[in-house]
Chain A
Amino acid sequence: DTGVSQDPRHKITKRGQNVTFRCDPISEHNRLYWYRQTLGQGPEFLTYFQNEAQLEKSRLLSDRFSAERPKGSFSTLEIQRTEQGDSAMYLCASSLVQGNTGELFFGEGSRLTVL
């Protein structure tokens, strides 16, 4: 399977713990996005990368969130000192910037539950 993969698919943690999610995009895609989705809401933009450069980060994102994409391949999203409000589905998507398309290809998401 050469689609976008995310790991872990599910994570249950206690409040105050750190968690890290990994996303492996489609190999030739140069843009990678992280979104957060909570019940009844659409995906909320968190951040995106072009190759290894982080081009934008949502102002809604606190300093407890950090994302990296070393070498422009896989990406990690770390949440430090988790809070119950961080419970959500974290979606990763990649795209190939080509003309005006830029269709997003999503992974199946990492569901975080903070107790």
Chain B
Amino acid sequence: ILNVEQSPQSLHVQEGDSTNFTCSFPSSNFYALHWYRWETAKSPEALFVMTLNGDEKKKGRISATLNTKEGYSYLYIKGSQPEDSATYLCASLSGTYKYIFGTGTRLKVLA
């Protein structure tokens, strides 16, 4: 993998559903993997910064895992709420301090 790829591109879920997204990144020269949430008309905000293989992070109903050997990270949202509607971006940091972003997963939670 040469680029950062995210799937799915967009997702509609019902309130209360749990969901997950995937971020694939280059595993060579890995330094860190970031997840950001970008709500409409606001600026992206960091959710997680992950650096170690096997890392698991949690913030409320949102959690993330990291596999640096195979180059992927999962973001999970348990019991989705309408306020979770946003674009979720992952960014890979390798070697130089240049962050490469994926195209994002646009989540819409329907009430």
Contacts and interface: CB of A to CB of B under 8 A. Distances in A.
A101 B41 CA distance: 26
Interface in A20-34: 31, 33
Contacts of A97: 97
Contact of A43 (B46, B96, B97, B101): B101
A37 to B, nearest CB: 9
A115 to B, nearest CB: 23
B43 A31 contact: no
Interface string B38-82: 000111111001010000000000000000000000000000000
Interface residues of B, number: 27
Contacts of B45: 106
B34 A42 contact: no
Contacts of B51: 100
A109 B39 CA distance: 13
A50 interface: yes
B7 interface: no
B98 A48 contact: yes
A42 B103 contact: yes
B89 interface: yes
Contact of A45 (B9, B32, B42, B100): B100
B91 interface: yes
Interface string B81-93: 0000000010101
B38 to A, nearest CB: 8
Given A104-B34, A104-B99, A108-B42, 15 more contacts: A3-B43, A41-B103, A42-B89, A42-B104, A43-B91, A45-B98, A45-B100, A55-B97, A91-B43, A100-B32, A100-B51, A101-B32, A104-B36, A104-B91, A106-B44
